[in-house]
Chains A and B, each alone.
Chain A
Amino acid sequence: DAGVIQSPRHEVTEMGQEVTLRCKPISGHDYLFWYRQTMMRGLELLIYFNNNVPIDDSGMPEDRFSAKMPNASFSTLKIQPSEPRDSAVYFCASSLGAGTGILNEQFFGPGTRLTVL
């Protein structure tokens, strides 16, 4: 398997622009997670999906952030409008639920390094 695929790997944009980050999870995985990593705040869970349904979006910092999972093989994280403080590495991860009440490890993508000028 190719692993979790994220695009783009690097994104530089100007404040106020819309940014869309993309993720393709590992085939067959039913959980998908979006994380943000910064020096100040560490690794934060933004939102996660189970079977394409958002389960917990309490980590989404503001209404400027939105995430969708239209099907089992694709998810997007959108920031509109972007701000310099959104600069971070954004990771997507997927996991296979092993049954009711059982959580397996997460497989992470390579991340998207976002810089907002």
Chain B
Amino acid sequence: AQKVTQAQTEISVVEKEDVTLDCVYETRDTTYYLFWYKQPPSGELVFLIRRNSFDEQNEISGRYSWNFQKSTSSFNFTITASQVVDSAVYFCALSERTGGFKTIFGAGTRLFVKA
């Protein structure tokens, strides 16, 4: 069965600090997709990144970077030089091909960035 664990419930940092949000997943499928979404205080969910199981290349987008490691079933998200606007809840999600792409979300990590 698919499962996503975000062990960090809340993280609080001071502006300009780097912060890493952890995501560990469980799947028996060889073809799957991993996602990160951001939910700011306004409530909407915003897509950040998608990774498929065959692409382990790390990705950088501005201050955001993602580290995908199949060996440890992890897909961690790092924000460099955090800003107050990064304060939000961040969700990691998994979709398995054999599950018909049913998407399972982790519990989310609430990030507070203080000025």
Chain A contact residues, CB within 8 Å of chain B: 31, 33, 35, 42-45, 48, 50, 55-56, 58, 89, 91, 93, 101-111
**Contacts known (A105-B35, A110-B44); A42 close to B104, Cβ less than 8 A:** no
Cβ of B87 within 8 Å of any chain A Cβ, yes or no, is no
Minimum CB–CB distance for A101 against chain B, Å: 6
Chain B residues proximal to chain A, CB less than 8 Å: 31, 33, 35, 37, 43-47, 50, 52, 91, 95, 97, 99-108
B101 in contact with A31 (CB, 8 Å): yes
B43/A110 in contact, CB under 8 A: yes
Bound complex: CA A56 to CA B95 (Å): 13
A101 CA to B45 CA, complexed, in Å: 24
- Kindly provide the distance from the CB of A59 to the nearest chain B CB, expressed in whole angstroms: 8
State whether A43 touches B108 (Cβ < 8 A). yes
Scoring A43, A44, A45 by chain B CB atoms within 10 A of each residue's CB, the highest score goes to A43
Expressed in whole angstroms, the Cα–Cα distance for A107 and B95 within the complex equals 15
